[in-house]
Each structure stands twice: as C-alpha cells, then as structure tokens.
Structure 1
Amino acid sequence: MINTFRSAKTLRNLTMLVLVTGLAACSGAPRVEPTGINDPHEQNNRKVHAFNKKIAGSGNGGGLAKAVPVEFQTIIHNVAENMSMPQVAVNSFLQGDIQGFGLATSRFAINSVLGFAGMVDAASEFKVPEHDTDFGETLYVWGVGEGAYYELPIIGPSTGREVAGRVVDLFTNPLSYALESPEKYVGTAAKLTDRVLKNSRRSDMISDVLDGSTDSYAQARLIYLQKRRYELSSRTGTMATYDDPYAN
C-alpha cells in the first residue's frame, strides 16, 4: 500500500514537471533579452532587501563562517555539490548539453564511490571539471524571458524566470525519488547550510559594496542582473562584460 502511494506521488510529481516544462518550451518564442530593469514590485522588494540585510548581519565579519572549522565547511560544500549532480545532469539533458550531462554524471559516480558519499571531491583529483546549472538556465535556453525582478527572503535577488526554475527544481533531482526519508533531505539541508556559510564568508565584501552605496537595494539589483545575464549569455556566444565586485 505504501509503495503504491509512493508510486502515485512520484507519477504525479513527474507529470507536473512534464506539464510545466512542456508549457515553458511552447512559450519559448524567439528570446529578446532585456538590457534594462523590470522591477514592478520594487516597494515590496525593498522591504525584503532590508530584511535580508538584517539576516546577513551587515558588517559581522563573517562570524558564522569563522566559528565553523574550514574542514567541516569543505565537507558540507562537497556533499551539497555531489547530491545536486543528478539534478544538474537532468537540466543539462533538457538543455541539450550532452557534455554537461556527462560531466555531472561522472562527478556524481566518482565522488559517490571514491569520495565517501561525496564528502571528498575525488572527481577533481581525476581532472573532471566542475559543472553546475539549474532549471532557470534551462528555461533561458528554451527561450523563456527573464520576467520581473524579485528579491526573495534569505535567497536574495532573483527574476521571474529564476523563481519558476527554483520551483520546478524541487522535482528535478532523481535522488528525491530514489532515496527514503530522512536521506532524501540530506542534499537540501547541505545545500542550504552551504549557502548560509558562503554568504557569511562574503559578508564583509558584500557590506563594503552595498553599505558603501547610497542605495544598497539598487546596487544589489544591478549587480545580480549584470552577473546573471553575463553567465547565461555565455551559453549563446553573445558575450557581455561587467564588473564583478565580488571577484577575488
């Protein structure tokens, strides 16, 4: 009975994914990427931005990251990256990126077996390069427009396309169907923890950029849109240039 329920739930989720991806593909008219800023929700976005700044603890000197041993942070990052590889492989396949599909599959296989379930990045030792993508990028490849700008709680800057991508990505990781509870939630927990630690490590740099601006919200919005558009445009060969204030 339990297995039947799980099968029905899995079928329902997969059907939802197929419908969403199908609708997205059908809406993939020739893409005209914006160069300006589409922010009809600015008033609400600014409230979320103020909340995010408080959560980040502007100027805290990366206190959380400093309190957690670097070795443990590395393990969390490696596990998060490895558990996301099946999802990266799925999105690479949907984008027609065979090379990316192969890289994601290889990294997951090597790190799962030789890297002690992903705790060690053995794939890099074998010269298998890192690869990352998401359903937001899949939608971009399919021709879906950027949409409005949003700032999400905790997550931060995003766009309508990226928000839709995040929702669909809740269903695109095969591990969520293959693993039982609580193992199926390890990847999500590791990814969220890795994000929090990463933001903590960058807190001083982010504070310098945002707090040094007369309008930190507008600055954060501009930085995100330039960076994300650059990353996505690199797939099409229509390269853009921008200054990355977070570059080391």
Structure 2
Amino acid sequence: MTFATPNRASTWRASAAALAAIATLSGCATNNPRDPLEPFNRTMFKVNDTIDQVALKPAATAYKKVLPSFVQTGVNNFFGNLSDVWTGANNLMQGKGEQGMSDWTRVALNSTFGIGGLFDIASEAGLKKHNEDFGQTLGYWGVPSGPYLMLPLLGPSTVRDTGGLPVDMAANGWSYVDPSSTRNIGTAIRVIDVRANLLDASNLMEEAALDRYEFIRDGYLQRRQSQVFDGESSRKALKEANEGPADARSIRAAYADDAPATDAAPAAPTAPAPTPAAPAVSSETPSK
C-alpha cells in the first residue's frame, strides 16, 4: 500500500461550486433564523434518506450481523487512530496544547503497541480520545456557524463547517492511499462501519420522532455547539443560540457575563447588631 497525492484542485472546485449553489438557493428562505434554506435542506434530506434506506442501512445491518464484534472494533480503532492525527492538530490550533499532545501520544502508542491502530491501547492507558475538525477550530476562534445546511450524502452541516470540509479532506491520511481501489474499498468500509454504529439510535429515532428532519437538525445544532465550546455554555448563551445562528464570540461573552466573579475583593465583615439591653429591675419596694 502506497500513498498518492489526490487531485486537490477538483476538491476545491467542487467545494466552491457547492457554496455557490448555497448562495443561489438563499432566495428559498424561511423565517427560521437557524434554517433559512429549509426547503432545499428538506429536499436534500429526502434524497439522503432514500439512499440510506436503499443502500447504506441494509449494508450496515449485514455488516453488524455477519462480522464478529472484534473485527468491527478493529476497523473502528484503525480509522479512529488516523483521525487522531488531525484531531491533535486542531487542538493545537485552538491553543489546547495538552490535549493536542495527548492526541499525538495516542497515535504513537496505538500505531506501535496497538498494531497499526487495530487496538486502542491509549484509552486503556488513560489517554482520552477527542474529536476535533477544522470547522470546530473556526468556531473556536469566533467564526459564526451560519445557516444550517444538509449536504448531499454527507448529511447535516453548517455553512462554516462546509467551508472547512476541503481542509479536513486534505488532512485525511486515508485520502493519500494508493492504489485507488484500496482507498475506495477502505472508504466504503469506513462509511458502513460508521452507519452500523448508528443503527440503534436511528431505529429509535424513526420510531419516536414525528418530524425526523427537525429532530436531526435540532440535535445536530445543539451537539455541534457543545463540540465547538467544549460543553461550556450558559442559559443566556443557549437562548441566543436558539434565536439565531450561534456566534462563538457572543456566546463566550454571554458565558463570561454569567460566570461568578473570582477576582473581586472579599466583602468586609459586618459587625453584629448590638443586643438590646434588658429592662432594668428596680430594687425599691413599690409604694402602696
């Protein structure tokens, strides 16, 4: 297995064309500030759902039933080890040096003692696994998420995260594998493995959700906000996010406003109130 350079020009052209199509479709707007492209998104959701029901879900169901669990775990660990390289880079770009170095230590341990990443030795050693991408890095530094967007085949996203996709694709180590047949087979296995891990959740959602589109959209936006801010948000920030596209700077400011002050000087102790004097008792005998 060797590595080759993918055609980056075509990747960037495809991304630019997708963003141009988004701008063109912005005329089909709704009153939902988080989802102004809802008519387009719902149409794309139906297309993706049809592909999932016809191809992906049956393949994932067979994958989960036929392959032994240890093989599925090995596949998941292998691709997870590759993703840790880019996760570490994004943590470093976000100024989270300790987490970034931990991610790269995970790669070193799992690639050697874990036999190419098939075994997750690092987690057993206490090194927590993180998940970061370039969209999260952009959000961390204040780039607003922009409207919700349902991408063909790729699923839920936002305009900001879509803009970060070309960087994520270029940083994906598997995209450099050669020959292309090996790369394509591995990519297909990875997609099916991810879908197999979501089977139970998707079955539950299909039974419970009245409007699956809204359920997926709202769940994705909340989860994405939590990922960008590492779960750090206040009631005020959540209220602002629900009223419009989440902006990293405004949400952090809201969190700072609600946080308790820690540098303020301690208040001076209050003197206790004086105890009222007891009524005097006269020693004279009352006159008759």
Determine if the TM-score, normalized by the shorter chain, exceeds 0.5.
Answer: yes
Q: What is residue 73 of structure 1 aligned with on the other side?
A: 72
Cα distance in structure 2, aligned partners of 1:209 and 1:153: 25
> What's the secondary structure of 2:85's corresponding residue?
helix
Q: Which amino acid aligns with 1:50?
A: K
User: How do residues 1-248 of structure 1 correspond to structure 2 at under 5 angstroms?
Assistant: 37-57=33-53, 63-64=61-62, 65-173=64-172, 181=179, 188=187, 191-210=190-209, 213=210, 215-234=211-230, 237-239=232-234
Between Structure 1 and Structure 2, how many residues are aligned? Answer: 207
Cα distance in structure 1, aligned partners of 2:153 and 2:70: 25
CA shift digits 1:162-220 (9 cap, x unpaired): 1122221112246766x65467778755542332222334331221233xx1x221222
Distance 1:180 1:52, change over 3 A: closer
CA shift digits 1:64-116 (9 cap, x unpaired): 33343322211111011001111112111211110121111011000000111
Identity between Structure 1 and Structure 2 (%):
31
CA shift digits 1:21-52 (9 cap, x unpaired): xxxxxxxxxxxxxxx74222211211111123
Q: Which amino acid aligns with 2:233?
A: T
> TM-score, normalised on structure 2?
0.62
Cα distance in structure 1, aligned partners of 2:119 and 2:190: 16
Alpha-carbon contact 2:137-2:228 (below 8 Å) kept? no
Q: Which amino acid aligns with 1:238?
A: S
Could you tell me which runs of 5 or more consecutive residues in structure 2 were left unpaired when the two chains were aligned: 13-31, 240-288
> What's the secondary structure of 1:202's corresponding residue?
helix
Which has the larger displacement, 47-56 or 94-103? 47-56
Cα distance in structure 2, aligned partners of 1:71 and 1:174: 24
Could you tell me which runs of 5 or more consecutive residues in structure 1 were left unpaired when the two chains were aligned: 1-5, 17-35, 243-248
Alpha-carbon contact 1:79-1:187 (below 8 Å) kept? no
Cα distance in structure 2, aligned partners of 1:190 and 1:116: 19
Alpha-carbon contact 2:72-2:193 (below 8 Å) kept? yes
Cα distance in structure 2, aligned partners of 1:226 and 1:124: 27
Q: Residue 145 of structure 1: CA displacement?
A: 0.6
Cα distance in structure 2, aligned partners of 1:169 and 1:68: 29
Give RMSD over aligned pairs.
Answer: 3.2
Q: Which amino acid aligns with 1:93?
A: L
Cα distance in structure 1, aligned partners of 2:186 and 2:136: 20
Larger radius of gyration: 2
Alpha-carbon contact 1:88-1:104 (below 8 Å) kept? yes
Alpha-carbon contact 2:136-2:227 (below 8 Å) kept? no
Q: Which amino acid aligns with 1:74?
A: T
